[in-house]
Amino acid sequence: MLKWCDPDGHPHHVQRENLADFCRPRKLKVGNMIHHIDTPTSDQKHGGWRLIERLVWISRADDLTTLVPALGTSETFFQSCACAMDGRHVLTEGGTFVKTTFNKFLCGSYNNGQP
């Protein structure tokens, strides 16, 4: 059983043999989804969909013990942070530089400002 999380945070349980039937009405490419399943290091986020066990979590700015999933694509997550009323808006202050740094953080390639 595969456990997917859609861009809105809803879980979906799908048998691998039913993946094509699951993808078709959602306009998801089966090949991309299979690559994500079969490649443990894959960070493929096909339209914001990802396996639940590969979700990226960040802590809230006002409560470091509360984790929030980084849902959707980095673009949609960045936009939701900009509009958030829970302290995440500070992640967007600084424009393009912050967005680039934030994308690196979500992809696991941020190196504390080092090249």
Instruction: State pLDDT tens for residues 101-115.
Output: 777 776 677 666 666
pLDDT of 93 above 70: no
| φ, ψ dihedrals at 49, nearest 5° | -80, 140
3-class DSSP state for residue 11? strand
| φ, ψ dihedrals at 109, nearest 5° | -110, 10
With bands split at pLDDT 50, 70 and 90, how would you rate the model's confidence at 20? very high
User: What share of residues in the chain are helix, strand, coil (percent, to 5)?
Assistant: 45, 15, 40
Supply the pLDDT for residue 113.
Answer: 63
- Give the global pTM: 0.62
Mean pLDDT of the chain: 79
Q: Which helix (H) or strand (E) holds 38?
A: helix 30-38
Supply the pLDDT for residue 12.
Answer: 96
Give the start-end residues of each E strand in the chain. Answer: 2-5, 11-14, 50-51, 57-59, 67-69
Among residues 2, 39, 32, which one has the least CA distance to residue 17?
A: 2
Mean pLDDT, range 27-51, rounded to an integer: 84
